[in-house]
Amino acid sequence: DVQLLESGGGLVQPGGSLRLSCTASGFSFDLYDMNWVRQAPGKGLEWVSTVTGGFGTHYVDSVKGRFTVSRDNSKNTLYLQMSTLRAEDTAVYYCAKKAVTGGGNWFDTWGQGTLVIVSS
């Protein structure tokens, strides 16, 4: 079975840093673009970042310069390094797999999510 398991969420003070991880199994991790999508409490879905199979990266404007996405194909793991965190970054962060190796970036597999709370 294809599975994604996030970890690393928690409570952090404004201005602080946190690193999220997503461990993948059941597919050839290195072939697929991987994504982070977040959902603030009671709100909708917001795409945050993508790292392609070729290690290219994309970010939503609100996190550019503060978040860094990366991957370690030897460990089948996706990361999101978050710094200078703000209250508005409070959300459940989902790891999501691009559905196909070519074509557009829609998501066929999601992790269970990890909650990040930015508060003093």
Partner 1 sequence: DIQMTQSPSSLSASIGDRIIITCRASQNIDSYLAWYQQKPDKAPKPLISAASTLQSGVPVRFSGSRSGTDFTLTITSLQPEDFATYYCQQYKSYPVTFGGGTKVDIK
> Interface with partner 1 by CB under 8 A: which residues?
35, 44-47, 50, 58-61, 94, 99, 104-108, 110-113
Closest separation between CB of residue 51 and partner 1, Å? 12
User: Strand 114-118 vs strand 10-12: parallel, antiparallel, or unpaired?
Assistant: parallel
Q: Which is nearer to partner 1, 99 or 117 (CB)?
A: 99
Residues 50, 58 contacting (CB under 8 angstroms) = yes
Q: Which residue has the tokens 């079975």?
A: 1
Q: What's the gap between Cα 37 and its chain centre?
A: 6
Nearer to partner 1, 88 or 108 (CB): 108
Pick 46 or 73: Cβ nearer partner 1: 46
Q: CB 13 → partner 1: shortest distance, Å?
A: 26
Whole-number minimum distance, CB 16 to partner 1, in Å? Answer: 25
Residue 58: Cβ within 10 Å count: 15
The residue among 27 and 107 lying less far from partner 1, judged by its C-beta, is: 107
Burial of 52 (0-12, 13-18, 19+ CB in 10 A): middle
Distance of closest approach, residue 75 Cβ to partner 1, in angstroms = 22
Nearest partner of 49 among 38, 14, 100, judged by Cα: 38
